[in-house]
């Protein structure tokens, strides 16, 4: 694979290597999967609870049935918490990956990103 000449050498870790990609994808996928599992446990668990524990789920809480309260109101905050944790973790993960490669944004890349931003008209 061709490497651009502007790249800072030496590198701690070859970012084009198979092992880097493998570990990168595995770590990100594991994080996503853990979060998804937490959320799906709730999503797929509730119908089962309704099915097998109708009396408990039909119990009244502040006028709501328990299951109505969980589904109609309780789910949204749960999703927010999972999303927040995921975003925090995945940002940290990216930070680690960048540190691991030792390839900080060189001036070339920064210029590239800036140009990308500037090519569109300003924001409003």
Per-residue tokens: 94: 């990216």
Quickly count: other Cβ atoms within 10 Å of residue 113's Cβ.
10
Is 82 within 8 Å of 38 (Cβ atoms)? yes
Position 72 contacts other proteins (CB under 8 A):
yes
Q: How far apart are the first and last CA of the chain?
A: 41
Q: How far is the CB of 105 from other proteins (least distance, A)?
A: 5
Closest C-alpha to 63, from 72, 53, 52? 72
Task: Provide, rounded to whole angstroms, the least separation between the CB of residue 10 and other proteins.
Answer: 16
Shortest approach of other proteins to residue 26 CB, angstroms?
10
Tell me if the bond preceding 87 is cis, omega within 30° of 0.
no
- Which residues of the chain form contacts with other proteins (CB under 8 A)? 1-2, 4, 15-16, 18, 20-21, 24-25, 28-29, 32, 35-36, 39, 43-44, 47-48, 50-51, 54, 57-58, 60-65, 67-68, 71-73, 75-77, 79-80, 82-84, 86-87, 90-91, 94-95, 97-98, 101, 103-106, 108-109, 112-113, 116-117, 119-124
């Amino acid at each position: 694979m061709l490497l651009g000449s502007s790249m800072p050498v030496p590198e701690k870790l070859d970012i084009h290597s198979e092992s880097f990609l493998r570990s990168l994808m595995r770590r990100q996928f594991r994080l996503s999967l853990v979060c998804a599992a937490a959320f799906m446990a709730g999503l797929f668990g509730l119908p089962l609870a309704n099915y097998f524990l109708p009396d408990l789920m039909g119990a009244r809480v502040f006028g709501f049935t328990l299951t109505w309260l969980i589904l109609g109101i309780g789910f949204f905050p749960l999703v927010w918490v999972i999303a927040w944790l995921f975003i925090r973790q995945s940002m940290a993960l990216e930070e680690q990956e960048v540190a691991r490669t030792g390839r900080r944004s060189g001036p070339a890349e920064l210029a590239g990103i800036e140009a990308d931003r500037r090519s569109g008209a300003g924001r409003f």
